Amino acid sequence: MNSNSKTIRRLLGGLLVAAMAALAGCASGPAHPPAPQKLPAALDYTYIIGPGDALNVNVWRNPELSMAVVVRPDGKVNAPLVDELVAQGKTPEQLAREVEKILGKYVRDPVVTVMVTAFLGPYSEQIRVVGEAAKPQFLPYKNKMTLLDVMIAVGGLTDFASGNKASILRTAEGNKQYSVRIEDLIKRGDVQANVEMRPGDILIIPQSLF
């Protein structure tokens, strides 16, 4: 046997070993621990204002100072007698107290309420869906949001998705990765595959290799 034949046989052998290893990996199941179905009750969620949020600032008995504003991309808002106030990263209640302090220079004992009328939230708390979703996108997080809620919002899986090999990258836990079974959830109705999401989760849906 000449050297070229030996080289070809070695290459073919290497490819066969690699293919068998890949098949074994596919058969061995998820590479990450399953995501917990329920989050600890201690993880109470309080909404944090982010860029793009629409706010209704109401000053009691002072309608001329009340108005609807949108948080700018730099996280700030402008309102009557209130200039360049940072809203991003604060709860509506915290923002209301800050507006009261500012207006207190001009109005006696102002009472301010802030309501969020359109939600986006800060980037760090949005849910991101990448890969083989019908409509990959980012979503504002909502309290008790589940994997099923997310999949409805993105229109389900593509025909090429490997839904049961999807995973959640959980930024709130130092980028710990969990496996999820999207195909079992939305195609087989397995409610045990539905898990609660956390703010900042990244849902990764890979493409099927077969």
Predicted confidence pLDDT, tens digits, the chain (210 residues): 555 455 445 544 444 444 444 444 444 456 799 999 988 876 778 999 999 999 999 999 999 999 999 999 999 999 899 999 999 999 999 999 999 999 999 999 999 999 999 999 999 999 999 999 999 999 999 999 999 999 999 999 999 999 999 999 999 999 999 999 999 999 999 999 999 999 999 999 999 986
Please indicate, yes or no, if residue 162 is contained in any of the structural domains. Answer: yes
State the DSSP code for 52.
Answer: T
Please indicate, yes or no, if residue 45 is contained in any of the structural domains. Answer: no
Total domains in the chain come to: 2
Beta strand segments in the chain, E: 54-59, 67-70, 76-79, 82-86, 112-118, 127-131, 137-139, 166-170, 176-180, 202-205
Please indicate, yes or no, if residue 32 is contained in any of the structural domains. Answer: no
Integer Cα distance of 152 and 197 in angstroms? 14
Please indicate, yes or no, if residue 172 is contained in any of the structural domains. Answer: yes
Please indicate, yes or no, if residue 165 is contained in any of the structural domains. Answer: yes
Q: Structure pTM?
A: 0.79
Q: What is the CATH number of the domain that holds 75?
A: 3.30.1950.10
Q: Who's near 3: CB < 8 A, 6+ residues apart?
A: none
Domain extent, residue 200, equals 126-210
